[in-house]
Each structure stands twice: as structure tokens, then as C-alpha cells.
Structure 1
């Protein structure tokens, strides 16, 4: 379990290619598979958010990680029994929202609630937005 963004940054520096996923865990995901909720189609992998900063990102890695580890869908991602975990795997496609779909998954670790609290604080400080509402603005300037 990781408790600080600095710990996550160290893990990523040692072994790039990590992703974060919110779910009931790898065992549950493997048991139930991945489905596109709207079409009902089976997806070829699990949706996950990449933790490696994009080449265009010229700000601190810590800022990138704060954005990536916060739940996208505050209500859906934080249902009872759902938690953030870090994984390594092979990207096999993109989901309906453009997110990477990952297979050949290796569980790396889980993220503690205090790490998410720290990420929300970094997000507020560095981006001047409340992370609770930032997702609503994601497409507003596109």
C-alpha cells in the first residue's frame, strides 16, 4: 500500500508503464470481465489511466500523478468496495471514452485514502480547481 504521492513517484521512476484503476480489485475484475455499459459489448481489457506523464507534460511528475490518481467519476469510482490500485499490463486498445484497455495485468499495489487526500490538495494548489468539479470542465475548452 502506498501512502504518499512521493512513494508513487518513486515506484513509477523505478518501473515506468504503470496504470491506476478503480474497481473491486483484480480478482473481481478477472471473474466478471470488462463490459461496455452502454453497448453491452465485452472489452478486450480493463480500462485504466496511465501514470507515465505524456511527452508534452513539462510540469512536475507529482502534478501529473495528482491528476491521474483522483477518481474521474466521483460517485461511480467511490462506490462501496471500490478502491484505487496500481497495475502493470499491456495496452490492447482504447475504450469508448479513449481510455487505455489493459490486459496481462500484474497487480503492483493499492493506494491509501491519505494519498488521495494529498492528491486532491495538490490538485487544488497547483491547478486552482476543486477536484470534485474539475471533471465537469475537462471538455469545456476543447
Structure 2
């Protein structure tokens, strides 16, 4: 672990929701951590191997169309949608929160972020909490997952 990986840990969905409610421009990234990512500050397209101009991440900002729905459900969904990544990319892949500037879009239309400032790790137990929140919703939902060939 590098010094940039020595971050506070957000332990509950309520705590992360509070961050999202207080700050704009936050993203969640699933990776081996800021220490590995900030050495290059570039993600790579898995299909072609092409380097991209920034780190791929998912925005935590609540969209206007969400209106007065619970922010906690929004945050839970943002975590749950990519919760399959540790199983596909390795058990050392974890979610962490960053602040940054969007510089473009990746092949899945995800933001590419530069000027990255790591803020905190997301405790792995929070993924179970996010899954439970998603499961409580009226409609069935699953993580965004590509199937292999």
C-alpha cells in the first residue's frame, strides 16, 4: 500500500450519502487503489487496450430527474451497479471515492476523470448494505455486468 492508499474508510451507506449530499463532483472508482492509479492516471479500454485520457469512474452526483427520491437509494445503486468488478478483475479491486475533473467519456459512456484527489475507501461491508437497499426497492435490479464470450 502506498501513502496515497492511506485514506479514511467510509463505513456506512448513510455516511457516504452524507458526503454526496455535501459535495459535488464526487466519483466512485473500482480499482487496486489510488497508489496504483495515480502513477499513470489513465485507464485502458479492456477491449482494444487503448489508453484513455483519465481514470474511468462513476459519478455520485444526484441527477436532477431523481427529484426528491432518497439520495441513499441513488448512492446504493451507484455502488451496486459495479459490485461485480472484484469478482471479475481480482479480489484486490476495491471501491474508493475521488474528486476530479471530467475530461471525456470511455467506451461505456463512463466519465474519464483527471486532476484526481482521493478522498476515502468504501468499506466492503457497505456493498452488502447497498445490495440490501436495492433489494428493498419495488422492481428487480441486477449489477451492470458483461458476460464473457
Give TM class, smaller chain: 0.7 to 0.9
Shift in Å, 1:116: 1.1
Aligned residue-pair number: 133
Q: Distance in 2 between matches of 1:129 and 1:56?
A: 20
2:6 corresponds in structure 1 to: none
RMSD, aligned α-carbons: 1.7
In structure 1, runs of 5+ residues without a counterpart are 137-142
**Are the structure 2 counterparts of residues 127 and 116 from structure 1 closer, same or farther at C-alpha, using a change threshold of 3 Å?**
farther
Shift in Å, 1:134: 4.3
2:46 corresponds in structure 1 to: 37
**Are the structure 2 counterparts of residues 2 and 127 from structure 1 closer, same or farther at C-alpha, using a change threshold of 3 Å?**
farther
Q: Which has the higher helix share?
A: 1
Q: Moved runs in structure 1, 4+ residues, more than 3 A?
A: none
Equivalent residues of 2:99, 2:117 under 8 A apart: yes
**TM-score normalised to the size of structure 1?**
0.85
Equivalent residues of 2:81, 2:143 under 8 A apart: no
**TM-score normalised to the size of structure 2?**
0.81
Equivalent residues of 2:81, 2:144 under 8 A apart: no
Are 1:55 and 2:55 matched, yes or no?
no
SS across alignment from 1:63: helix
In the TM superposition, what whole-angstrom CA distance separates every residue of 1:42-97 from its partner, at most 9, and x where no partner exists?
100001111111111132111100000125261325x2211000000000000000
1:88 corresponds in structure 2 to: 99
SS across alignment from 1:53: coil
**Aligned pairs (5 A) from 1:1-142:** 1-32=9-40, 33-58=42-67, 59-72=69-82, 74=84, 75-76=87-88, 79-129=90-140, 133-135=142-144
SS across alignment from 1:103: strand
Shift in Å, 1:115: 1.2
